[in-house]
Amino acid sequence: MVLMTLVTLLAFAGLCLLLSVTPGPDTFLVLRISLQSAGAGLAAALGSAVASMVWAALVGVGLAAVLEESAEVFRWLKIAGGLYLLYLGISSLIRARRTKSSPTAGRTPRRSYSRRAGFGAGGLSTLLNPKVGLFYLAVVPQFIPHGGNTLDTAMVLGAIESAIGFLYLAAVSIAAAKAMAWLQRPRVSSWLERGSSGIIAALGLGVLASSASS
């Protein structure tokens, strides 16, 4: 029984790792914030991890079942997530253009994110991320044994996914911080800022398009 449980947890951990390393809004958001502040980037990774636990709690108490049965509710969740991603992308592109046109651009790295703001952005991004929501709605319940303690099991699974997601995003943030000397070159920083912001905005548009067609 213990071996079977261990195999099940390892299988779930593998799925979580696959979810984490698949490029998505959270990855690009943490990377973009880390380009401005390594501490804020780690805070964003932590916020994403905490939000993942919120999704796990929703599954555990059965609220996720309501979303699963109501396609309309889930559709509006996707629309909200798409609009938020679109907002992040466009606002970042605007900031990048303003920074480039500023007389002091390139002299001192601009830090528009505090750790608190980074934590909030990471958490909200994950809460409104349809990929994370769909994962918890479709995958996590499959690992909850019938007749078992649903809430406790869901929270354990959520802790595994949250830990793996945090470690991956923290690695992204640390890697960006280690390469900061190169990344802070005005041309490179501007290219990465615009690129990551554009990707986030494009992901938001993709979510909105899929919501409209569903």
**Would you write out the chain's pLDDT as a tens digit for each of its 214 residues?**
344 477 778 888 888 887 787 777 888 889 888 878 889 999 999 999 999 999 988 887 876 666 667 767 767 766 776 776 677 677 767 766 665 555 444 444 444 678 899 999 999 989 887 778 777 877 777 777 766 677 788 888 899 999 999 999 999 988 887 776 565 566 666 666 667 667 767 767 776 776 666 5
The per-residue pLDDT for 31 is 86
Q: Check: CB of residue 29 under 8 Å from CB of residue 87.
A: no
pLDDT of res. 106: 45
pTM of the entire predicted model: 0.68
Confidence (pLDDT) at 107: 45
For residue 106, report the phi and psi dihedrals to the nearest 5 degrees: 90, -15
pLDDT at 151: 79
The pLDDT of residue 136:
81
- Complete DSSP assignment for 18-86: HHHHS--HHHHHHHHHHTT-HHHHHHHHHHHHHHHHHHHHHHHHTHHHHHHH-HHHHHHHHHHHHHHHH
